[in-house]
């Protein structure tokens, strides 16, 4: 440990210093970093103390939440690993203003539960909700299952408490629905992946709690038909549509075996959709079934109980876990306009098969907002050998994404894995502006170096 790190440690309580080196490796075990100090500050004041010291001594700081990120953004490369997990209080719930103030280390599921207990919905929902943390969700602008109705995390943040790189506190946690007083720094921190400051708390928007959920699994001959179904459901049920997920045949086969659950339908493509309504609407399920039948989706399964609903969702949510049986994959977190999803999947599949004979492509994702998890397996490559082909596979995938007007990073961020590709979706002028913003916020370059922005 450097002498300066020893001095920092001496400023903190003993239980704010950790020796849990598991925090240095990301969830996918893709990256293992190093740190001179692993810190678990108790509260915002402690974060300020740490940042003041690190600023004065030019020590790099990597903020970390639940360490569930998929792009290596929370893996440090020396200096301080600042895990926010102990800032886990829900500070306030205000039902009149539909607002909840949570500290950065609150686990998403606990925030959802606290909102529900107060008769409200916090709509962010994603596979890692049992371990990811609010601060990380904000830092990477998380998306998930309900974006088509409620937006991404960016749309759900009313206010932030942030510790700047020099330890200065910026705090706006009053539940104000309208506030236009200069540049929106809150929106700069959202999605900045720990490179501009440390988010320590946030005031989040709440929504009416659904009184009814109707969940359907159905088959489709092609993605175009699934997109038609999306339009149909939207025109019939409007804002009630909360989720509209696409699952490829291969993805369902894997998940069905993994979950030991029979496939609800047999088709080349599958859709899992959910309507919710904050008004008790006993007729909603019947209307949905009728609509599907009338429009030729006769092979639909409408969940008849909460248990059946969870079984259907488990098939969707366990695809990632199930596909691990195929070995190491090259994953893509992409989005294109909804009208281009079918063309992208078809053309990119052809191009990949032609370049890598026998490549296996597992496709699933959030058709309702145009984002896909597009994961590729090279059967001939050994586990570690896969990465030798990563750049070549990515070149093909991203070429097709960009040709369809899409993005190479929909909801997982850039981290360290995609920073060298940022220039494919942002112009030189934009990257220069981002670097200038970075320099303004973090003049000593101590915040999460090596992430997000290219060198």
**Binding to a second copy, residues 310-339 (CB under 8 A):** 335-339
Is there binding between residue 437 and a second copy (CB under 8 A)?
Answer: yes
Across the beta sheet with 157-163, the strand order is: 90-94, 99-103, 198-205, 157-163, 169-171
Candidates 320, 407, 416, 448: give the one binding a second copy (CB under 8 A): 407
C-beta of residue 43 within 8 angstroms of C-beta of residue 113? no
Q: Least distance (Å) from a second copy to the CB of residue 428?
A: 9
Q: Least distance (Å) from a second copy to the CB of residue 440?
A: 3
Beta bridge partners of 63: 82
* Binding region for a second copy (CB under 8 A) out of 28-36, 313-321, 383-391, 432-440: 432-440
Task: Find the length of the chain.
Answer: 455
Candidates 310, 405, 420, 445: give the one binding a second copy (CB under 8 A): 405
Is there binding between residue 177 and a second copy (CB under 8 A)?
Answer: yes
Is there binding between residue 239 and a second copy (CB under 8 A)?
Answer: yes
Q: Least distance (Å) from a second copy to the CB of residue 406?
A: 7
Nearer to a second copy, 193 or 250 (CB): 193
Q: Least distance (Å) from a second copy to the CB of residue 12?
A: 24
How far apart, in Å, are the Cα atoms of 158 and each of 106, 164, 172, 205, 284? 17, 19, 9, 6, 32
φ, ψ (nearest 5 deg) of residue 361: -120, 120
- Tell me the C-alpha distance between 291 and 17, whole Å: 58
Is there binding between residue 363 and a second copy (CB under 8 A)?
Answer: no
Is there binding between residue 413 and a second copy (CB under 8 A)?
Answer: yes
Cα–Cα nearest to 285, from 266, 269, 306: 306
Query: Which of the residues 338 through 357 are near a second copy (CB under 8 A)?
Result: 338-339
* Binding region for a second copy (CB under 8 A) out of 30-38, 152-160, 295-303, 356-364: 152-160
Candidates 115, 410, 417, 447: give the one binding a second copy (CB under 8 A): 410
Candidates 96, 282, 307, 383: give the one binding a second copy (CB under 8 A): 96
φ, ψ (nearest 5 deg) of residue 400: -75, -35
* Binding region for a second copy (CB under 8 A) out of 19-27, 54-62, 79-87, 439-447: 439-447
- Tell me the C-alpha distance between 270 and 244, whole Å: 10
Is there binding between residue 148 and a second copy (CB under 8 A)?
Answer: yes
Candidates 155, 290, 306, 395: give the one binding a second copy (CB under 8 A): 155
Q: Least distance (Å) from a second copy to the CB of residue 292?
A: 16
Is there binding between residue 406 and a second copy (CB under 8 A)?
Answer: yes
Q: Is the dihedral of CA 382, 350, 368, 288 positive or negative?
A: negative
Cα–Cα nearest to 68, from 153, 163, 135: 135
Q: Strand 80-83 vs strand 61-64: parallel, antiparallel, or unpaired? A: parallel
Candidates 130, 208, 268, 379: give the one binding a second copy (CB under 8 A): 208
Is there binding between residue 187 and a second copy (CB under 8 A)?
Answer: yes
Q: Least distance (Å) from a second copy to the CB of residue 405?
A: 4
Nearer to a second copy, 73 or 328 (CB): 73
Candidates 3, 22, 262, 429: give the one binding a second copy (CB under 8 A): 429
Is there binding between residue 440 and a second copy (CB under 8 A)?
Answer: yes
Is there binding between residue 380 and a second copy (CB under 8 A)?
Answer: no
Is there binding between residue 282 and a second copy (CB under 8 A)?
Answer: no
């Amino acid at each position: 440990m450097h002498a300066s790190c020893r001095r920092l440690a001496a400023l903190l309580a003993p239980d704010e210093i950790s020796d849990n080196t598991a925090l240095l490796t990301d969830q996918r075990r893709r990256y293992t970093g190093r740190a001179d100090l692993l810190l678990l500050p108790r509260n915002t004041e402690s974060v300020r103390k740490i940042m003041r010291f690190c600023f004065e001594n030019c020590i790099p700081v990597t903020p970390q939440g639940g360490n569930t990120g998929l792009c290596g953004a929370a893996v440090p490369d020396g200096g301080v690993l600042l895990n926010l997990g102990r800032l886990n209080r829900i500070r306030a719930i205000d039902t009149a203003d539909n607002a909840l103030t949570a500290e950065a280390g609150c686990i998403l599921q606990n925030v959802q539960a606290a909102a529900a207990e107060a008769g409200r919905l916090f709509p962010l929902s994603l596979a890692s909700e049992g371990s990811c943390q609010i601060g990380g969700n904000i830092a990477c602008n998380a998306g998930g299952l309900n974006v088509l109705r409620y937006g991404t995390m960016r749309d759900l943040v009313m206010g932030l408490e942030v510790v700047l790189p020099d330890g200065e506190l910026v705090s706006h946690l009053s539940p104000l629905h309208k506030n236009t007083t200069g540049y929106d720094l809150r929106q700069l921190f959202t999605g900045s992946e720990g490179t501009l400051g440390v988010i320590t708390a946030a005031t989040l928007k709440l929504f009416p709690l659904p009184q009814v959920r109707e969940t359907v699994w159905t088959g489709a001959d092609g993605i175009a038909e699934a997109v038609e179904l999306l339009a149909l459901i939207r025109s019939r049920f409007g804002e009630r549509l909360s989720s509209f997920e696409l699952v490829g045949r291969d993805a369902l086969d894997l998940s069905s075996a993994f979950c030991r659950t029979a496939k609800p339908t047999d088709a080349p493509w599958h859709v899992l959709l959910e309507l919710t309504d904050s008004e008790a609407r006993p007729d909603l399920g019947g209307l949905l079934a009728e609509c599907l039948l009338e429009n030729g989706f006769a092979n639909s399964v409408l969940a008849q109980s909460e248990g059946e609903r969870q079984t259907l969702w488990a098939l969707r949510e366990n695809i990632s876990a199930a596909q691990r049986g195929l070995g190491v994959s090259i994953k893509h977190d992409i989005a294109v306009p909804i009208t281009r999803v079918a063309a992208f999947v078809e053309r990119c599949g052809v191009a990949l098969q032609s370049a890598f004979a026998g490549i296996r492509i597992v496709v699933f994702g959030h058709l309702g907002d145009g984002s896909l998890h597009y994961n590729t397996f090279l059967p001939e490559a050994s586990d570690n050998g896969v990465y030798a082909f990563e750049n070549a596979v990515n070149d093909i995938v991203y070429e097709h994404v960009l040709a369809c007007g899409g993005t190479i990073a929909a909801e997982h961020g850039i981290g360290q894995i995609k920073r060298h590709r940022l220039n494919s979706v942002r112009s030189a002028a934009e990257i220069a502006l981002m670097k200038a913003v970075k320099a303004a916020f973090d003049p000593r370059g101590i915040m999460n170096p090596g992430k997000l922005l290219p060198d």
